[in-house]
Structure 1
Amino acid sequence: MDELKIIAVDQSNIDQEHICCAITDKKGETCVSSKKAWMQERFPDGLVFRKLNVRGKVFIEYIPAEHAWIPILAEQYMHINCLWVSGKYKGQGYSDQLLNQCIDDAKKAGKSGLTALSSAKKKPFLSDPGYLKHRGFKTADTADPFYELLYLPFSDDAPVPAFKDCVKQERIPEDGMVIYYSSQCPHTAKYVPLLQKIAESHSLPLSVHKIQTTEQAQNAPAPFTAFSLFYQGRFITNEILSEKKFEKFIEQNF
């Protein structure tokens, strides 16, 4: 058995490496390829993906905030897209190892600190506020209904990041069911088409907007640009809904 260690996934090994959170069976090949293609496009922007050399979910992904796919103002910060340690690997110090490497990289790059998207209480697909605040992160800004922009400044005079105004609007100008999503999360490649089929089976309109560029992501109507569902102009959830949960949503609203 190979020694357990943290490795970096980059252009040289991305074709061979398992990227942790993607679906692992053959049905998930589209999910894997969409996520890896997204990563390859971001590597020139400074994207870093570090993981434990196992097939489990033990990884961190981060990028300079000026290139991050999130509507924030965070000049000279490094933004954490995702930090995930799950299953049997929890409680073994891997979260600290991964975060410490991110901190080291950010300091070497002359950054003012780190940012991460979280929530008032733990929510699916968002960074764990309890862990990050335990590590010294503070709340920089909030956006309804539950989003928190957390930051870890490296100095007392570091500027405080903020959400952009586009995520602080009460509603989007489009009625009906609306999804904004990107390939930043591998699961959207599987579930968004399924949700479209379910809506069609009920003869219900569903408007889908795929975020394709950094500029689009940085001006999106919700902080979580991997997936956001709106209904009648109002934000509903950032959770990538399963078929069962989407059917339940339709049953409750139509």
Structure 2
Amino acid sequence: MGGEYINLSSGNLMQEHLCCIIRQKAQHPGVEAKRRWLAARLSEGHMFRKLDAKGCAFIEYAPLERAWVPILGENFLYIYCLWVDGALKHHGYGHDLMGYCIFDAQSKAKSGICILGADKQKAWLLDQSFAKQFGFQTVDQTENGYQLLAMSFDGSKPRFAPQVHQPEIPEQQLVIYYDMQCPFILERVEKLKAYCTAHRIPATFVLVDTLVKAKNLPGVFNNFAVFYHGKLQTVNQLNPVMLEKMLDR
């Protein structure tokens, strides 16, 4: 099923909703943080395309060289997120959005498109089975179960940064890396900080606020990464209940 779509730009960014957390009047701190983050990225070729409807149906991607992930490659696009939710599911909008990204990549003579995946589907990553319908294949992988999937137009391949294959840090306490690319993150981080303070859990929260920091992160990252006992635990965004379960394991 076709639909009308909108590409966010500096001219409409402040007026359009961002799909993930829809607010009409009241401001939402996470949404406003996302707007500020996105405003600085649009001139770098970052794309946020959404269905012109009240609901969640969008794709977000960027040139890999400018994408805030520890993935390397030349002339690829990196998809952060493709999400269709609620009543908008099963209408073909996901196929439309992926098709647009492929068309955009080809029209700009890109070498291909890539996404972050995993051996087992993670809640906050693009559905790999959906991506594979379009020809995405695993081109790099880590020993702890993460994959880099790519659709290559010319045979070239992106790759994880070298440190991603040894995702360890010296700190043994809880360390959470995050950026403001997702509007859910700000509130989640504040709740996790409060939980750790209340339960006297030593924790460090690291805001990733530059491209250089993102490219040099010690493990896979889409906008969030959790380390404990020096090892990467997950890229899933956690709430306090999920964190408690992880710490108890």
TM-score bucket of the superposed structures, by smaller chain: over 0.9
How much has 1:230 moved relative to structure 2? 0.8
Instruction: Name the residue aligned to 1:95.
Output: 94
Instruction: Name the residue aligned to 1:190.
Output: 187
SS in 1 for 2:59: strand
How much has 1:121 moved relative to structure 2? 2.3
Instruction: Name the residue aligned to 1:115.
Output: 114
Residue segments in structure 1 that go unaligned for 5+ positions in a row:
none
How much has 1:244 moved relative to structure 2? 2.1
TM-score under structure 1 length normalisation: 0.92
How much has 1:22 moved relative to structure 2? 2.5
Per-residue deviation, residues 86-108 of structure 1 (Å, max 9, x unmatched): 12212211111111111111111
| Structure 1 residues 196 and 8, CA gap change in structure 2 (3 angstroms) | same
Matched-pair identity in %: 38
Residue segments in structure 2 that go unaligned for 5+ positions in a row:
none
**Paired letter, 1:248:** K
* Contact in 2 for aligned 1:185/1:226 (Cα 8 Å): yes
TM-score under structure 2 length normalisation: 0.94
Instruction: Name the residue aligned to 1:221.
Output: 218
Instruction: Name the residue aligned to 1:161.
Output: 158
Question: Aligned partners of 1:101, 1:23: CA distance in 2, in Å?
Answer: 23
Question: Aligned partners of 1:12, 1:239: CA distance in 2, in Å?
Answer: 32
Question: Aligned partners of 1:106, 1:238: CA distance in 2, in Å?
Answer: 26
| Structure 1 residues 21 and 66, CA gap change in structure 2 (3 angstroms) | same
* Contact in 1 for aligned 2:226/2:233 (Cα 8 Å): yes
Question: Aligned partners of 1:100, 1:166: CA distance in 2, in Å?
Answer: 32
Instruction: Name the residue aligned to 2:196.
Output: 199
**Paired letter, 2:113:** L
Instruction: Name the residue aligned to 1:240.
Output: 237
Instruction: Name the residue aligned to 1:124.
Output: 123
SS in 1 for 2:209: coil
| Structure 1 residues 6 and 179, CA gap change in structure 2 (3 angstroms) | same
Count of residues paired in the alignment: 248
Question: Aligned partners of 1:69, 1:218: CA distance in 2, in Å?
Answer: 6
The worse-fitting range, judged by mean Cα deviation, of 205-214 and 220-229 is 220-229
Per-residue deviation, residues 61-92 of structure 1 (Å, max 9, x unmatched): 11111001111122011111111111221221
